[in-house]
Amino acid sequence: MTPELPDLLRLSGALARHAAARQQIAAENIANADTPGYRARDLPDFDEVVARLGTGSLRAQIDRSVPVSPNGNAVSLETEMLRLADIRQDHDLALGVYRSALDILRTGLGRRA
């Protein structure tokens, strides 16, 4: 069973908001790359977010996959750059789905895109 168009629009909007929140957290991680004791954070993947809908707000979690430097900092600029590429893909996907859904709605209303 496929989701209805309004559900698809809501889901793509949620994916775009998730990507924006992850981008903000990644920017904070990069800004604190030299801050002693700072630990990189990230949000759970979007599929986890969808699975937890209605169970409360999601908070950023500490990324424990990055080794801690001698000053206690755990930010890897390489990891953050890869994370930003992943975030951009999610954002582009959300916008693509949203555009397609709007095109379908316009076509249904007899208007050109």
Q: Are 40 and 66 in contact (CB under 8 A)?
A: yes
CA atoms within 13 A on the CB side of 108: 7
Domain layout of the chain by residue ranges: 5-107
What are residue 50's phi and psi, to 5 degrees? -65, -40
Q: How confident is the model at residue 65 (pLDDT cuts 50, 70, 90)?
A: confident
% of residues, the chain, pLDDT over 70: 88
**Given a cut of 80, is residue 113 above it in pLDDT?**
no
> What is the Cα–Cα distance from 21 to 86, expressed in whole angstroms?
13
1-45 confidence digits (pLDDT tens): 456 768 888 888 889 999 999 999 999 999 999 999 999 999 998
Is the pTM of the predicted complex or chain greater than 0.85? no
